C-alpha cells in the first residue's frame, strides 16, 4: 500500500547533507510506490508536490531576530517569547495546510527537531505532532548539544521540549553510534541508526568527453585538482587543506572548494582567502560555477557535485567534527583518494570497516604530506586504494542498507512489509 510521505525541514535546496540525504530517502521510497511531498522555507523540489513557506527558512527575518537574542544570553525578554510562540503558531497552521493539501500519511522531519536553527519551526512541529498523533519519522543529523555555539542560551525550555520532543508517535533516527547513545542518555529515547548512503550498486558514469568543468573553474587539464567538497564553515577545517597544498610546493596543485559560504557568516571565508594568499595557495570557491542540481524522480534533486568529483585528483576532508561524513562516502563512491582528519564518527563508525585513507590526527605531518604525494604520483597504489574503498562502500553504505532500514521504519507504522 502506497503512503504519502511529507518531508519537512527548513531547507531542501542545494548540496548540503540534509538536502542530499533526503533526496536519497525519497528515491528509495518512490521506487516502492511511496510518494514524497516537500515542506520547507527554501526549496528546489518540484513545485507541484511542494509547499514553500518562507517563514520556515532559517534566514527569514523573524528567525534571524530570534537567533540573535536566543544564543549567548541566559535570560530572554517577554518579546522574544512572544515572537517565538507567534511564529510557531503561524507555522503550525501551515503544517496543517500541508498535511491536508497532500493527504500526508507519514511525516518525515529532516533535522528540524534536533538542531535549533529555527526554534519556532521545532516548536510548531512538536505541537502539531502532539495534537494530531501523526506517524512521524524524525531523522536527526545534528543535535544542539554537539555544537558549542548553542551551549549558552535563553531558550532551554524550548530545547527541552522540542529538540527533540518525546512523543509516542515519533520514531527517532540517528546517523551515527555516538548520536544514538547520546539521545538515549539525554532523553531516554530509543532510535534506529541509519547511516548515510550512496548508490554503490550503480557506479557513476565516466565523465563526458566534452566536459568543460576544469575550464569553467579556471583549472588547466594537467593541474592537480584537490577538491574540498564541503560548505565553508569553521568545523570543516579548510585551513588544513590550505596548509597541505602549501607544503606540497607544487604550483600545479589547485585547491577547489565546491560549496557556498554564509550559513554561519562570511568571516571564515574571508580568513581563508587571506591565509591562502599568505601561503601562496591558489584557492578557488566555485559554487557559482557548479552546474545546478537536476530534478529527479518524485521532485528530489540530484547532486550537482558529480562533475566536481569526477574531475578531482584528491579529496580533502580535514573536518574537525562531522555528524557522519557525506563527502567521505562520496569520495569512496567516485573512486577518489581522500585525506581525512580522524574526526570521532570516522573513528567509531567508518574506519573500523577497513577503508584506506590518508589519515591525519588534527595536524599535518611530513608523513601525511608524503602519503599525499605518493597517491598523486603512483597510479597503481591509488587504484588499489580506491577499488578497495568502493567494495567496502557497497557492503556498508549502499542503497540496499537504506532500503532495509526504511522497510523497518515504514512497516512499524503501516504493518505492511512493502519496501
pLDDT over 90 (residue 287): no
Long-range contacts of 231-235 (CB under 8 A, 24+ apart): 231/16, 231/259, 231/260, 231/261, 231/263, 232/257, 232/259, 232/260, 232/261, 232/262, 232/268, 232/269, 232/272, 232/285, 233/263, 233/264, 233/268, 234/264, 234/268, 234/320, 235/319, 235/320, 235/321, 235/322
Across 23-32, 59-68, 146-155, least confident range = 23-32
pLDDT of residue 55: 98
pLDDT of residue 295: 47
pLDDT of residue 180: 95
pLDDT over 60 (residue 333): yes
pLDDT of residue 302: 44
Residue ranges and CATH numbers for the domains of the chain are: 4-197+399-414 (3.40.50.2000), 213-396 (3.40.50.2000)
pLDDT of residue 2: 85
Q: What is the pLDDT of residues 204-215, one digit of tens each?
A: 887 666 678 888
pLDDT, the chain, mean: 91
State the cell numbers at 185.
542518555
Residue keyed to cell 528530489 = 300
**b (16+ CB within 10 A) / e for 133-165:** ebbbbbbbbbbbebeeebeebbbeebbebbbbb
CA–CA separation, 152 and 70 (whole Å): 9
Q: What is the pLDDT of residues 195-241, one digit of tens each?
A: 999 999 999 887 666 678 888 888 999 999 999 998 898 999 999 99
- Nearest-CA neighbor of 298 among 22, 72, 70? 22
The rounded percent of the chain whose pLDDT value lies above 90 is 77
CA–CA separation, 36 and 259 (whole Å): 26
307 pLDDT band, cuts 50/70/90, is confident
Amino acid at each position: 500500500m502506497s503512503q504519502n510521505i511529507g518531508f519537512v525541514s527548513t531547507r531542501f535546496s542545494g548540496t548540503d547533507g540534509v538536502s542530499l540525504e533526503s533526496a536519497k530517502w525519497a528515491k528509495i521510497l518512490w521506487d516502492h510506490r511511496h510518494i514524497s511531498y516537500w515542506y520547507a522555507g527554501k526549496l528546489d523540489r518540484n513545485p507541484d508536490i511542494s509547499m514553500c513557506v518562507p517563514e520556515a527558512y532559517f534566514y527569514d527575518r523573524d528567525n534571524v531576530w530570534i537567533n540573535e537574542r536566543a544564543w549567548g544570553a541566559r535570560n530572554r525578554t517577554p518579546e522574544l517569547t512572544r515572537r517565538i510562540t507567534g511564529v510557531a503558531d503561524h507555522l503550525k497552521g501551515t503544517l496543517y495546510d500541508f498535511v491536508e493539501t497532500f493527504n500526508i500519511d507519514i511525516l518525515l522531519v529532516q533535522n528540524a527537531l534536533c538542531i535549533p536553527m529555527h526554534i519556532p519551526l521545532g516548536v510548531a512541529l512538536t505541537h502539531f505532532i502532539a495534537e494530531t498523533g501523526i506517524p512521524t519519522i524524525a531523522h536527526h543529523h545534528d543535535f544542539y548539544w554537539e555544537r558549542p555555539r548553542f551551549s549558552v542560551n535563553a531558550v532551554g525550555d524550548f530545547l527541552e521540549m522540542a529538540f527533540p520532543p518525546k512523543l509516542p508517535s515519533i520514531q527517532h533516527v540517528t546517523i551515527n553510534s555516538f548520536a544514538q547513545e547520546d539521545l538515549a542518555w539525554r532523553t531516554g529515547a530509543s532510535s534506529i541508526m541509519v547511516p548515510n548512503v550512496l548508490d554503490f550498486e550503480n557506479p557513476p558514469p565516466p565523465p563526458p568527453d566534452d566536459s568543460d568543468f576544469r575550464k569553467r573553474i579556471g583549472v588547466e587539464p594537467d593541474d592537480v585538482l584537490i577538491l574540498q567538497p564541503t560548505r565553508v564553515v569553521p568545523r570543516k577545517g579548510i585551513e588544513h587543506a590550505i596548509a597541505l597544498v602549501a607544503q606540497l610546493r607544487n604550483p600545479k596543485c589547485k585547491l577547489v572548494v565546491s560549496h557556498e559560504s554564509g550559513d554561519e557568516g562570511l568571516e571564515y571565508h574571508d580568513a581563508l582567502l587571506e591565509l591562502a594568499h599568505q601561503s601562496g595557495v591558489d584557492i578557488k570557491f566555485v559554487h557559482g560555477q557548479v552546474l545546478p542540481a537536476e530534478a529527479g524522480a518524485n521532485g528530489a534533486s540530484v547532486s550537482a557535485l558529480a562533475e566536481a568529483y569526477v574531475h578531482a585528483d584528491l579529496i580533502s576532508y580535514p573536518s574537525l567534527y562531522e555528524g557522519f561524513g557525506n563527502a567521505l562516502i562520496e569520495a569512496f563512491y567516485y573512486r577518489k583518494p581522500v585525506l581525512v582528519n580522524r574526526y570521532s564518527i570516522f573513528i567509531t563508525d567508518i574506519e573500523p570497516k577497513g577503508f584506506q585513507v590518508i589519515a591525519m590526527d588534527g595536524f599535518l605531518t611530513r608523513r601525511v604530506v608524503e602519503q599525499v604525494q605518493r597517491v598523486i604520483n603512483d597510479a597503481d597504489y591509488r587504484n588499489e586504494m580506491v577499488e578497495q574503498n568502493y567494495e567496502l562502500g557497497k557492503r556498508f553504505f549502499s542503497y540496499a542498507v537504506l532500503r532495509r532500514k526504511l522497510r523497518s521504519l515504514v512497516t512499524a507504522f503501516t504493518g505492511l512489509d512493502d519496501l
